[in-house]
């Protein structure tokens, strides 16, 4: 369908396979060694690690409860009075008199959940679809090839639908909530993962160790599940890292479109950012904190993913 998109995915797959062939020893260990030398990878890893740390420890390290409207009597919406940063509230107060700093820290967890769950949905469903297609095409005989063709044409159609539209359609079915956002963003990623895993598995299916396993009489299911599949995950994991960044940004956009969490009490960066648009002219800081959070986190995952891709792709490595 989208020839270019497909070619790009296929290139990533090829690159993974080539890197494996070109060098002896563990691919992952070699990639890791290369990544340790790349400033991109290091800064990405630091950002991601910090984000995960805050997300996990959030409720325990936040100075105040995130939902308590402790300073509610100091905020005046109609006069645009929003106390800014001060000694007790480092990031100031939000429109209901809640401590912004605590909300940012506690909100990291929900944001991480949205990104991780959405990515997992796309990954899991995509892995099943792509895996079945590859297995059927390789070992299923003539009928298997037909099944593979049907599956992959369907995936190609889905790949042609812009992500936000797919997300909108899912959200229209399920009504607004945070899980809708996760499912919507996740579903939009399924075709990409399916395509990527299938390509990667097909590349593996032609390798010598699979031939060896076949000639030894290992059962097909076992070859697919414990030989081909684990060895095909490299490019897919890279893609998952990049998708995490997209998922967090797209989730914020869906929240802005009113498809996110209808209860703005629970802090989540995307919901907070969407919610703050109402006070943008009077109190832009309410939007800037969650926006910076989202941008920096997305940047971290993107840097890490790109660095991983580069360390897997010998052609890209030559360039930069």
Partner 1 sequence: MLRYTVKRLLQLAVALLGLTLLLFAWFKALPGGPENRMLPDNATDQQREALRGALGLDEPIWTQYGEFLSRIVRLDFGSSLSSGRPVATELAERLPATIELSLTAIAIAIGVGIPLGYLAARKRGSWLDLGAVSSSLIGICIPVFFLAAMLKVVFAQNLGWLPTAFRLSPGTAYTEITGLRVLDGILTGEFDVAWDAVLHLVLPAVALASIPLAVITRITRASVLEVVGEDYVRTADAKGLKPAVIRGRHVMKNAMLPVVTVIGLLLGSLFSGAVLTESVFAFGGVGSFVYQATTERDYPALMGFILIIAVFYVVLNLIVDLSYGLLDPRVRVRS
Q: Applying CB under 8 A, which residues contact partner 1?
A: 1-5, 153-154, 156-158, 160-165, 168-169, 171-173, 175, 245, 249, 252-253, 256-259, 273, 277, 280-281, 284, 287, 291, 294-295, 298-299, 302-303, 306, 315-316, 318-320
Tokens 């049907």 locate to: 150
Backbone angles phi, psi at 163, to 5 degrees: -60, -45
Core vs surface per residue 235-246: b (16+ CB within 10 A) or e: bbebbbbbbbbb
Tokens (6 digits) for 179: 């899980």
Query: Considering beta carbons, is residue 32 or 295 the nearer one to partner 1?
Result: 295
Q: How far is the CB of 261 from partner 1 (least distance, A)?
A: 15
Q: Which is nearer to partner 1, 165 or 212 (CB)?
A: 165
Q: How far apart are CA 248 and CA 255, in angstroms?
A: 11
Give me the phi and psi of 88, to 5 degrees please.
Answer: -85, -30
Q: How far is the CB of 280 from partner 1 (least distance, A)?
A: 5
Least Å from the CB of residue 217 to partner 1: 38
Tokens 């995490």 sit on residue: 244
Nearer to partner 1, 59 or 262 (CB): 262
Compute how many other C-beta atoms are within 10 angstroms of the C-beta atom of residue 273.
Answer: 23
Nearest residue (CB) to partner 1, 150 versus 212: 150
CB of 114 to partner 1, least distance (A): 13
Q: What is the distance between the alpha carbons of residues 163 and 297, in angstroms, rounded to a whole number? A: 20
Residue closer to partner 1, measured from CB, 223 or 298 = 298
What is the closest distance, in whole angstroms, from the C-beta atom of residue 320 to partner 1 in the complex? 7
């Amino acid at each position: 369908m989208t020839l270019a998109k497909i070619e790009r995915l296929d290139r990533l797959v090829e690159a993974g396979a080539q890197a494996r062939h070109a060098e002896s020893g563990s691919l992952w260990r070699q990639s890791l060694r290369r990544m340790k030398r790349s400033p991109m990878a290091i800064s990405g890893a630091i950002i991601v690690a910090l984000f995960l740390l805050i997300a996990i420890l959030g409720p325990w390290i936040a100075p105040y409860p995130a939902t308590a409207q402790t300073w509610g009597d100091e905020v005046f919406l109609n006069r645009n009075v929003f106390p800014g940063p001060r000694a007790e509230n480092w990031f100031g107060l939000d429109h209901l008199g809640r401590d912004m700093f605590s909300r940012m820290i506690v909100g990291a967890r929900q944001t991480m959940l949205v990104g991780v769950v959405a990515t997992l949905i796309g990954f899991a469903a995509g892995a099943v679809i792509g895996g079945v297609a590859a297995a059927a095409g390789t070992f299923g005989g003539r009928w298997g090839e037909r099944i593979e063709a049907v599956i992959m044409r369907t995936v190609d159609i889905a790949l042609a639908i812009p992500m936000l539209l797919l997300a909108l359609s899912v959200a229209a079915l399920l009504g607004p909530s945070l899980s809708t956002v996760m499912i919507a963003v996740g579903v939009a990623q399924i075709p990409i993962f399916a395509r990527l895993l299938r390509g990667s598995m097909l590349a593996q299916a032609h390798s010598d160790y699979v031939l060896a396993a076949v000639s030894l009489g290992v059962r097909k299911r076992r070859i697919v599940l414990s030989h081909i599949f684990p060895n095909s995950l490299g490019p897919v994991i890279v893609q998952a890292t990049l998708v995490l960044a997209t998922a967090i940004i797209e989730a914020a956009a869906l929240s802005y479109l009113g498809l996110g969490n209808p209860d703005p009490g629970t802090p989540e960066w995307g919901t907070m950012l969407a919610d703050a648009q109402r006070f943008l002219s009077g109190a832009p800081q309410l939007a800037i904190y969650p926006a910076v959070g989202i941008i920096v986190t997305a940047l971290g995952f993107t840097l890490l993913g790109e660095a991983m891709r580069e360390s897997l792709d010998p052609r890209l490595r030559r360039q930069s």
